[in-house]
Amino acid sequence: MITLIGNSNTPVVSRKRLTEELQSISNSPQNKLYWEICLALAFNSSVPENEREEYFQQVIDNNSEGCKNLAENPKTPSHILEKLYEMGIKDKIARNPSTPSSILRILAQDRSFITRHKALQNPSITSDILVDLINSENPEYRPKIFAKVEYKSYDEWNELWFKYPSISSLDLYRILLPKAVEEENTKSHKFIVNNYSRIYQFKTYLANSGDKKYVISLARSSDTPIHILEKLIRDDDVDVRIALAKSNNRPLQILLALSKDSDTRVRRELLKYNQTTPVEILEILKSDESEEIRSFIANSHNTPLEILNYLSQDSSSEVKQNIADNPNTPVETLEHLWRKDKIFSQRNHNTPSHVVAEKIAITKDSKILRKILEGCLGSYPQIPASSLEKLASHQDDLVRSQVAARWGLRIFSAPTYKSN
């Protein structure tokens, strides 16, 4: 009977009679038979348009199952599908070939993977939607089948045409062409990477490629041409400039540029990895704003005396302490550091003995005294005996034992003479 009332060839009188009989049985809009009657009449083309719209609306207003049936029925008018979409019935609409392309475009980028998948499977999806999805910045929206297709695989091309019959051959070619170009570029790039050490021009290509891995490799290489090095010292990536600073045997103009780099890490690595840093570089960095940089120069055994003397006037106590610890620092400078700033080094064997004696005289902390005495045994052979005599009666046992060790060394090493 449902089939008869939905048949456009059923006489109007018979259709009305059958409808009344069925409605008498279905006494509630929520009843399945009720919405089946409404759908049969709504899809019957011989029913006046205004009546059909009423039947559609009755289903939408009263029955969720009927709405789902409407959503997946390819005969459902597009304006009804739009209403159902607004109600949140997405999955069934996504696979309905009658769904408007404007809605398909939205569903193809839905949060739900199932909804997106069904929209992509919809035979009515258009080429422009597919192209937009393939070029989407969000990889989740890109149809995965396109990622597997090789440019020269005709079987896979046919599979795409079969899967998306609405897409034109020209659009498909436009979609796949960038992939083919990318594959060829990847092969070319791989060839260049494997051969750049042997072919001069390839190094220039890699320097301009923006590939950080290979740009850093060029920065570290000892045979990178000067014009590439000059480009790398201006690279925005600090890791590239650090790699350049860590390399030895660079031309002076490159080192000078790196010594003026805005990043402290670059200047630090320049000093750390270039043990024989040219004087021109040290002259620039001796006034560096970074205390760490100035301390490094002050501690270096390769720093010229003029720069050591300059840094002994530094505002940083850490820099001056490194000057005091440096074995190349002149005695006059060590004494100046002690007189002016009370900076003393127990590791520097050049520290004058009278400075050591003065340090011992003003030191109350037993731990510091023991450290000084440890330094004395190894570093200060001319420590005044008067200082040791005073410490021989010190209250700290370890201090006295170290003094005893010192006196024992002197007695043992004293010369002896035979009488005639």
pLDDT digits (tens, 9 = 90+) for 93-102: 999 999 999 9
Question: What's the pLDDT score for residue 168?
Answer: 73
- If pLDDT is split at 50, 70 and 90, which confidence band does 297 have? very high
Question: What's the pLDDT score for residue 169?
Answer: 72
- If pLDDT is split at 50, 70 and 90, which confidence band does 406 have? low
Within-domain flag for 253: no
> Residue 128 has which token pair?
């422009």
Question: What's the pLDDT score for residue 303?
Answer: 93
Within-domain flag for 292: no
User: In this structure, are 31 and 53 located in the same domain?
Assistant: yes
pTM, rounded to two decimals = 0.51
Among 151-155, 171-175, 350-354, 366-370, the range scoring the smallest mean pLDDT is 151-155
Question: What's the pLDDT score for residue 38?
Answer: 84
User: In this structure, are 128 and 147 located in the same domain?
Assistant: no
Say whether 182 sits in a helix, a strand or coil.
Answer: helix
User: In this structure, are 59 and 26 located in the same domain?
Assistant: yes
pLDDT of residue 30 exceeding 60: yes
Say whether 220 sits in a helix, a strand or coil.
Answer: helix
- If pLDDT is split at 50, 70 and 90, which confidence band does 147 have? low
Last residue of a domain, one of 114, 137, 160: 137
What own/partner pairs with CB < 8 Å and gap ≥ 24 does 196-203 have?
197/221, 197/223, 200/225, 203/228
Within-domain flag for 231: no
- Tens of pLDDT along 97-141? 999 999 999 998 888 888 888 888 888 888 788 877 877 777 777
Beta carbons of 90 and 117 less than 8 angstroms apart = no
User: In this structure, are 106 and 24 located in the same domain?
Assistant: yes
Other beta carbons within 10 Å of 292: 15
Q: How many domains does the chain have?
A: 3
The average confidence (pLDDT) of the chain is 82
d(CA 44, CA 49): 10
d(CA 177, CA 315): 65
> Residue 31 has which token pair?
């009843």
pLDDT of residue 269 exceeding 70: yes
Beta carbons of 25 and 33 less than 8 angstroms apart = yes
User: In this structure, are 87 and 172 located in the same domain?
Assistant: no
d(CA 40, CA 72): 15
pLDDT of residue 417 exceeding 60: no
Burial class from Cβ neighbours inside 10 Å (0-12, 13-18, 19+) for residue 119 reads: buried
Say whether 306 sits in a helix, a strand or coil.
Answer: helix
User: In this structure, are 121 and 36 located in the same domain?
Assistant: yes
Question: What's the pLDDT score for residue 375?
Answer: 63
DSSP class of residue 70 equals: H
Beta carbons of 2 and 32 less than 8 angstroms apart = no
pLDDT of residue 271 exceeding 50: yes
- Tens of pLDDT along 233-257? 999 999 999 999 998 778 899 999 9
Beta carbons of 55 and 39 less than 8 angstroms apart = yes
Within-domain flag for 88: yes
User: In this structure, are 152 and 127 located in the same domain?
Assistant: no
Question: What's the pLDDT score for residue 60?
Answer: 87
Within-domain flag for 396: yes
Is residue 218 within a helix (H) or strand (E), and if so which, with residue range? helix 212-220
Within-domain flag for 368: yes
Please compute the mean of the pLDDT values over residues 18-38 and round it to a whole number.
76
Within-domain flag for 280: no
pLDDT of residue 393 exceeding 70: yes
Within-domain flag for 85: yes
- If pLDDT is split at 50, 70 and 90, which confidence band does 402 have? confident
Last residue of a domain, one of 137, 161, 177: 137
Beta carbons of 359 and 372 less than 8 angstroms apart = yes
User: In this structure, are 127 and 23 located in the same domain?
Assistant: yes
Other beta carbons within 10 Å of 160: 18
Last residue of a domain, one of 195, 213, 230: 195
Kindly calculate the radius of gyration of the chain based on its CA atoms and give it in whole angstroms.
45
pLDDT of residue 258 exceeding 80: yes
Residue 188's φ and ψ, nearest 5 degrees, are -65, -45
**Domain encompassing residue 188:** 138-195
Beta carbons of 222 and 247 less than 8 angstroms apart = yes
User: In this structure, are 128 and 34 located in the same domain?
Assistant: yes
The residue that leads in pLDDT, 379 or 247, is 247
Question: What's the pLDDT score for residue 387?
Answer: 77
Per DSSP, helices labelled H in 221-347 are 226-232, 238-245, 252-259, 264-273, 279-285, 291-299, 305-311, 317-325, 331-341
User: In this structure, are 31 and 152 located in the same domain?
Assistant: no
User: In this structure, are 97 and 169 located in the same domain?
Assistant: no
User: In this structure, are 11 and 133 located in the same domain?
Assistant: yes
